[in-house]
Amino acid sequence: MIRRLIRRTSQYVERTAGIRRAARDTYGVAWLPLQLKAMRIRQRYGWGLDESLASGLLDPESSIDLDATASPRETTRLQYLMNAHQIEAVSEDKVVFHMIANAAGLPIPRQYLTLMDGAMGWDHVHSRPIAPDSWAMPFRGLPDHVIAKPSAGSFGKGVRALERVGEVWRDVATGRLHSARDIVEQMRDDEEYPDWIVQERLGNHHDLDVFESPGLHTLRLVTFVNAHGRVEILWSGFRIASAGSAIDNFHGGRLGNMTCEIDLSTGRVEAAYAPLGDRPGVKRIARHPARGVDLDGFQLPWWADACEVVTRAAPLFAPLRTLGFDLALCEDGPRIVEINMWWDVPQVAPVRAILDRLWHEQPLASVPTNVAEATADVVQLRGNGRIGR
């Protein structure tokens, strides 16, 4: 016990010292004023030292209104209260989510392969099982354009857009060629994510071609099921993948992509942000920095349809009451790529009023019994490794 405490204390001190050095090197000022500022931000708003640095809050030139934003810690506390965290696999495990969404008839990407470490997977193209040691074999029967991603991944970690080139596959982001066996070995070598899925690679609506990126741009709609079972859309954002990225995750601007806030009444861009580049944080922009496209007022396609899809879908996942739906705006309509019960928003998003309101919400009057029981059954099967398809 004492040794563990000493080790953890030592790790914390070392990590904090590293963050201090990074802040000092980034902003070129003494670490003590930055440390004092970070302590004030943590005490009043709940942002950790590393979160403040990564979000640009320690920047002496930062203009972020902390009274209007919310820290990740407070957002997570609210989500823990509002959602039945015992069934978080429904949103955080893509295998479980796909099973439920597919059974409910929701518009989602087609699932091609479910690859499970130490258990039988499933080839959805040919409706047959995949042995744990035969992951490479079904790649032969896949379409020419696919997405491979960890079943429990987040922030775009491990996601790869692949396209067939003869007998091998090209990684869209890097341009490198890999055999199916190479891809499988890389999956198996990932110590963090043992299970994987391979899905249809969705394309953007032609209105989004102006951004000239191979990546999929996605719309996030944050929903809430109130005490009477009515669905409210609380916040919306749109993420634009940069030209060299196959994913659109924002992650505080660290991935080079852009993020926008969307007017809920119109589906138009209300404010757009891009990474600062030379230091942590973001800046407000009016035009796409590389393409020159006007972003202020840009109209998203399929806005009304996207809102209708999440309004129909959200009650199906009760008692998960607040979810972040990520949707692709495709040529044939919106598709739900994934849902997140631990949804996040950009550090500049003015969501304080939303969270303040949710803290005073009442419990659900009732949860549809069939939904709750079916969800629990799926999670139990997934946990026992008994899901076959």
- Taking the C-alpha atoms of residue 54 and residue 250, their distance in angstroms, rounded to an integer, is 12
- pLDDT band of 2, cuts 50, 70, 90: confident
Place of tokens 């970690």: 157
Strands 258-262, 231-240: pairing is antiparallel
Calculate what percentage of the chain has a pLDDT beyond 90.
60
pLDDT at 372 over 50: no
- pLDDT band of 362, cuts 50, 70, 90: confident
Average pLDDT, the chain: 86
Query: And the tokens for 315?
Result: 């009650």
- pLDDT band of 25, cuts 50, 70, 90: confident
Identify the bridge partners of residue 233 per DSSP, sorted by sequence position: 223
Question: Among 15-19, 97-101, 280-284, 354-358, which stretch is predicted with the lowest mean pLDDT?
Answer: 15-19
pLDDT at 266 over 90: yes
What pLDDT, on a 0 to 100 scale, did the predictor assign at position 14? 67
What pLDDT, on a 0 to 100 scale, did the predictor assign at position 82? 92
Tell me the pTM.
0.86
3-state secondary structure the chain: CHHHHHHHHHHHHHHHHHHHHHHHHHHCCCHHHHHHHHHHHHHHHCCCHHHHHHCCCCCCCCCCCCCCCCCHHHHHHHHHHHECHHHCHHHHCHHHHHHHHHHCCCCCCCEEEEECCCCCEEECCCCEEECCCCCCHHHHHCCCEEEEEECCCCCCCCCEEEEEECCEEEECCCCCEECHHHHHHHHHHCCCCCCEEEEECCCCCHHHHHHCCCCCCEEEEEEEECCCCCEEEEEEEEEECCCCCCCCCCHHHCCCCEEEEECCCCCEEEEEEEECCCCCCEEEECECCCCCCECCCCECCCHHHHHHHHHHHHHHHCCECEEEEEEEEECCEEEEEEEECCCCCCCCCCCHHHHHHHCCCCCCCCCCHHHHHHHHHHHHHHHCCCCCC
Mean per-residue pLDDT, 377-387: 48
Backbone angles phi, psi at 123, to 5 degrees: -95, 100
- pLDDT band of 236, cuts 50, 70, 90: very high
Question: Among 32-46, 304-318, 337-351, which stretch is predicted with the lowest mean pLDDT?
Answer: 32-46
Mean per-residue pLDDT, 350-367: 83
- Taking the C-alpha atoms of residue 122 and residue 112, their distance in angstroms, rounded to an integer, is 8
- pLDDT band of 153, cuts 50, 70, 90: confident
What pLDDT, on a 0 to 100 scale, did the predictor assign at position 375? 53
pLDDT at 296 over 90: yes
Question: Among 205-209, 332-336, 376-380, which stretch is predicted with the lowest mean pLDDT?
Answer: 376-380
With beta carbons less than 8 A apart as the criterion, state whether 336 and 101 touch.
yes
| Domain 78-91+205-372: assigned CATH number | 3.30.470.20
Question: What residue spans in the chain does CATH classification 3.30.470.20 cover?
Answer: 78-91+205-372
- Taking the C-alpha atoms of residue 169 and residue 164, their distance in angstroms, rounded to an integer, is 4
What pLDDT, on a 0 to 100 scale, did the predictor assign at position 251? 44
What pLDDT, on a 0 to 100 scale, did the predictor assign at position 26? 76
